[in-house]
């Protein structure tokens, strides 16, 4: 085996501008899809909890489909299959200096819709975790449903939602690789393009793996801060998992430190 170390170091630390563009695309798409997915998921969760039966049923159907089919299939379906069926074709949108290619739009849409299905369930569980006495107190003070949701229930649901939300974003950073199949030049596709011109498969996959690992590690640190701030109240901060446990999983981390139980 020959591992070209100088090549490896070069692409790890002095990436081409196309490669950096891929990294940017990965990051931006992850952030947008996660944000849109979270907002849509919030509305879906509220809809499922509402007393309107047909709406709840509709949302359950949506969740059923998007959690029950592979994300890769959803991406290809939305971009390629819809166009092939003559139903809808994504075209480049130009917004002044910024132009958004059709495949990026389709990728974002698929990632967002998929994420919304997962976030809907997470947020619904978070809302249900808030003691019903809180709603009663809010009602007794003359608050409407919307006001009590916004001011009383959702802020308290946040501490149940933020830890899994962090995990979802970690997954999102990696799931964006799937949009490479519809030609979005994110990090993975940029790597593959580089491979086709250099043929250094092993080195470049090592580089891209390290890039993703760096992204998720940095995110893990942000997540830890977020959870310390919002996820848990001060009184139970002592039981929150530390950064190391977060990163390596609690069992492994304890084992590594020689702890048992």
Q: Which residues bind other proteins (CB under 8 A)?
A: 131, 133-134, 136-145, 147, 151-152, 155-156, 233, 235
Name the residue with tokens 């997954």.
Answer: 171
Containing 10, the helix (H) or strand (E) segment is: helix 5-13
Nearest to other proteins of 28, 143 (CB atom): 143
With vertex at residue 92, the alpha carbon angle to CA 23 and CA 86, rounded to the nearest 5 degrees, is 120
Containing 98, the helix (H) or strand (E) segment is: strand 98-100
Nearest to other proteins of 4, 236 (CB atom): 236
Rounded to a whole number of angstroms, the minimum distance from the CB of residue 140 to other proteins is 4
Between CA 183 and CA 190 the distance in angstroms is 10
Rounded to a whole number of angstroms, the minimum distance from the CB of residue 157 to other proteins is 10
Nearest to other proteins of 61, 155 (CB atom): 155
Nearest to other proteins of 205, 230 (CB atom): 230
Nearest to other proteins of 14, 233 (CB atom): 233
Measured from the Cβ of residue 8, the count of other Cβ atoms closer than 10 Å reads 17
Measured from the Cβ of residue 24, the count of other Cβ atoms closer than 10 Å reads 12
Strands 98-100 and 93-95: antiparallel
Could you tell me if 118 and 67 are in contact, meaning their C-beta atoms sit under 8 angstroms apart?
A: yes
Between CA 120 and CA 116 the distance in angstroms is 6
Nearest to other proteins of 72, 143 (CB atom): 143
Rounded to a whole number of angstroms, the minimum distance from the CB of residue 9 to other proteins is 49
Between CA 191 and CA 22 the distance in angstroms is 9
Rounded to a whole number of angstroms, the minimum distance from the CB of residue 45 to other proteins is 19
Rounded to a whole number of angstroms, the minimum distance from the CB of residue 156 to other proteins is 5
Please count the residues of the chain: 261
Joined together, the tokens standing for residue 207 give 């580089």
Q: Helix, strand, or coil here: 101?
A: coil
Nearest to other proteins of 67, 151 (CB atom): 151
Rounded to a whole number of angstroms, the minimum distance from the CB of residue 60 to other proteins is 24
Rounded to a whole number of angstroms, the minimum distance from the CB of residue 143 to other proteins is 6
């Amino acid at each position: 085996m020959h591992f070209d170390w100088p090549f490896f170091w070069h692409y790890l630390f002095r990436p081409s501008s196309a490669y950096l563009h891929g990294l940017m695309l990965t990051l931006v798409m992850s952030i947008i899809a996660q944000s849109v997915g979270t907002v849509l998921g919030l509305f879906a969760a509220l809809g499922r909890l509402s007393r309107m039966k047909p709406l709840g049923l509709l949302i359950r159907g949506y969740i059923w489909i998007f959690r029950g089919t592979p994300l890769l299939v959803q991406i290809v379906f939305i971009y390629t299959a819809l166009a092939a069926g003559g139903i809808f074709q994504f075209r480049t949108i130009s917004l002044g200096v910024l132009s958004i290619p059709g495949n990026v739009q389709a990728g974002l849409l698929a990632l967002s819709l998929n994420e919304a299905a997962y976030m809907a369930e997470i947020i619904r569980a978070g809302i249900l975790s808030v003691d019903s006495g809180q709603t009663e107190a809010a009602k007794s003070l003359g608050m409407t449903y919307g006001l009590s949701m916004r001011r009383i229930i959702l802020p308290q649901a946040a501490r149940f939602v933020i830890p899994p939300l962090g995990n979802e974003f970690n997954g999102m950073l990696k799931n964006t690789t799937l949009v490479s199949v519809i030609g979005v030049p994110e990090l993975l596709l940029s790597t593959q393009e580089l491979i086709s011109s250099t043929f250094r498969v092993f080195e470049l996959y090592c580089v891209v793996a390290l890039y993703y690992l760096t992204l998720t590690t940095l995110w893990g640190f942000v997540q830890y801060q977020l959870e310390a701030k919002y996820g848990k109240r001060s009184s139970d901060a002592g039981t929150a998992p530390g950064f190391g446990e977060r990163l390596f999983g609690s069992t492994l981390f304890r084992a590594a430190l020689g702890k048992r139980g």
